[in-house]
Structure 1
Amino acid sequence: MLSLLTSCERLKVPTNLSSPILPFLRCIERCHNASLPQGRLPFYYGETIIGWLDPRLLSALKTSLSPDTITITPDHISLNKGEFLRDISRSLAEQQCYRPFNEWFDVTMPEGKTIGQVDRGLIPLCGFEAAGVHLNGIVKKGEQLFLWVAKRSKHKRLDPGKLDHLVAGGMSSGLTPAETVVKEAGEEAAIPSELARTAHHVSTLRYAMIRPEGLRRDRLYCYDLFLSEEFQPRAADGEVESFHLMPLQEVFHLVQKEDQFKFNVNLVLIDLFIRYHLFASSDEAILSEALYHPHLKPRPSK
């Protein structure tokens, strides 16, 4: 991924640090900091790269799995059958190579075909693409828009205490994005299923980011849900500490001036700000280019 300065030059953005959109560009760039392979091995299924393996797993894979499961060479690893992903997940968990979530996520081909399932906790170490949903809970009061903002529990494994969407969560195996919205809405904010089903899909975002837990290659399905002034979310599963209804302009300034939101929430909020035209038209074009058309690095051949 290009550096922030290089991206600014490529998109003809003023590099003066006082530029009002630079903080938003930094949020986008932060989520696109992976320049693959970045020391990782391409993980193949057939002729297609489905992930990027952390090389620290190689020893455990070699000693615990048969050659019928995976093929390991000095420059890549190949999965022989999709059903073996569950075996790999269990074996590496038993060797304490990662902390399992005990939740299965689908591993898919680029065209969407499901290959098999992997424990959610292993995904960043294998660099598989994961899918999730983010829900903007919007309230309109007169001409002013408000957004429900959640504060993550201090006991969350990732980004404890950070601000988050009203509803957000990973897409478990076998579920569609719409089904995941209904599931997570009920679990996280006690939103009735009939209300959650009125949410509408507004965009899909992708990013590749190096994080402490590994490589995050995420596909985010973004939804808007309009709520009445009387609606009050309730933390149903303990993953959220509290909810706050904030003017959209206040959320805008928090993203611009603070670092309070979970890293990928910023992307979905910037998408929301663009759709509601909170930027000048010239800035909107620059941010749209960076958010929706990130630079893609060529992939190595096998």
Structure 2
Amino acid sequence: MQATDFKTLLNYIEKCNTAHLHKDFLPFRANDQIIGWVKPEFINTLYQYGIFKADDQINTLPPTISLESLGQKIIQDKLVQTMHELFDVYPSPHAKPIGQIDRAVLPSLGFIGTGVHLNGLVKDGDDTYLWVAKRSPHKRLDPGKLDHIVAGGIPAGHTHQSALAKEAEEEANIPHQLIIQAQYTSMVTYSMIRPEGLRRDVLYCYDLWLPQDFIPTPNDGEVVGFELMKIEDVYRRVCDTNDFKFNINLVLIDLFLRLGVISAKSANAQMLKIGLRGKLFP
């Protein structure tokens, strides 16, 4: 790995870890747990919906108000545009959900968002290839960027395994008998400031070795097409351009380390590996 490549890859990670929770945000509590981090200027708006400052000065959702109804009020007042999809609300990655809320509201309240990403890999002799998708130009977030063959948020009521199967069929027409062979490999986490708000994301990463004769096809309009690229060319595309969606770069760095495209033994590689588990909490 060249020094310039390392600098670029580390920069991708740093750009996904721009949030300073204690410095720039206030904790938000529900069900006796800190579940979110909110911009101070947005707290006054939340007071209008019944949020109150408890004796310990932590902004708290009263038990008489559900998370889902709070999200509905925020959307009804046109503070956020609905995404018509509920997500589970998790205090931490391995905790049980304590409620549900419209996906679009997660960044405004600094709640953890979960997603699943699939590396669709193909082996041809000694060469390894990766299926790369191009996002629709009509996507609300990151239109036209390069993406994984399958990637998406985890809707309420789904595990990352069931969400992967759902997304695989919807986005790339990957049949059930293939997707059940996908192997969970790692978790990527980060906290960052985005135009839509505070993203505290947990990405569950999978690898799937696909047959050479399998051709993915767009199914739900999320992407406009797929391209099979040699893994070394994907690496150069990541290092030399900004073509991939921001968090795809992180999942690909994880893949490069796992496949040996980046030697995992160097000190720089260890820095990248540590950086892929960014802080979700102060």
Gaps of 5+ in 2: none
Query: Hey, what's the Cα distance between the residues in 1 that align with 2:125 and 2:88?
Result: 43
TM-score (ref. length: structure 1): 0.86
2:119·2:130 contact (CA, 8 Å) conserved in 1?
yes
Q: Give the RMSD, CA atoms, in angstroms.
A: 2.0
Matched residues in 2 for 1:80 and 1:32: separation?
A: 31
Is the alpha carbon distance of 1:245 and 1:297 closer, same or farther for their aligned partners in structure 2, counting shifts above 3 Å?
Answer: closer
Partners in 1 of 2:274 and 2:166 — Cα distance?
A: 32
CA deviation after TM superposition for structure 1 residue 134, in Å: 0.3
Partner of residue 69, structure 2: 87
Q: 2:46 aligns with which of 37, 52, 61?
A: 61
Q: Tell me the CA shift for residue 76 of structure 1.
A: 3.3
Cα separation, partners in 2 of 1:200 and 1:81, compared to 1, 3 Å: farther
2:33 to 39, 48, 54: 48
Q: Secondary structure at the match of 2:17?
A: coil
- Corresponding position: 1:191 with 2:166: no
Aligned equivalent of 1:212: 195
Deviation at 1:38, TM superposition (A): 4.3
What letter is aligned with 1:175?
H
- Identify the match of residue 286 of structure 1 among 251, 263, 271: 271
Q: Which runs of 5+ in 1 are unaligned?
A: 1-16
Contact 1:207/1:218, CA 8 A, preserved across alignment? yes
Aligned to 1:22: 7
Partner of 1:145: 128
CA distance 1:298–1:230, change in 2 (3 Å): closer
Once residues 184 and 297 of structure 1 are traced to their aligned partners in structure 2, the CA distance between those partners, rounded to angstroms, is 25
How many Å apart are 1:39 and its aligned residue?
A: 2.9
Provide the identity percentage.
Answer: 43
Alignment of 1:164-183 (within 5 A): 164-183=147-166
Q: 1:71 aligns with which of 39, 42, 52?
A: 52
Q: Distance in 2 between matches of 1:59 and 1:99?
A: 20
Of 140, 156, 162, the residue aligned with 1:157 is 140
Classify the secondary structure of the residue corresponding to 2:12: helix
Post-superposition Cα deviations, 1:208-251, rounded to whole Å, max 9, x if no partner, equal 01011110000000000111111011100001011000000000
Q: Are positions 1:256 and 2:239 aligned together?
A: yes
Deviation at 1:45, TM superposition (A): 2.5
Q: Counterpart of 1:226 in structure 2: which amino acid?
A: W
Q: Pick one of 191, 207, 227 that aligns with 1:224.
A: 207
Deviation of 1:53 after TM superposition, in Å, equals 1.5
Using the alignment, how far apart are the partners of 2:281 and 2:159 within structure 1?
Answer: 30
Name segments (4+ residues, structure 1) moved above 6 Å.
Answer: none
With the length of structure 2 as denominator, give the TM-score of the two structures: 0.92
Per-residue CA shift, 1:60-98, capped at 9, x if unaligned? 3333x34xxx32369531123396101101111111010
Residue type at the aligned position of 2:242: D
Kindly state the Cα deviation for residue 193 of structure 1 after the two structures are TM-superposed: 1.8
Inter-CA distance 226–91: structure 2 relative to 1 (3 Å threshold) = same
Which residue of structure 2 lines up, in the alignment, with residue 14 of structure 1?
Answer: none
Instruction: Confirm or deny: 8 A CA contact 1:83 1:117 kept in the other structure.
Output: no
Supply the AA of the counterpart residue of 1:230: D
Q: Count how many residue pairs are aligned between Structure 1 and Structure 2.
A: 277
**Alpha-carbon distance in 1 for matches of 2:8, 2:112:** 26
Residue 264 of structure 2 is aligned to residue 269 of structure 1: no
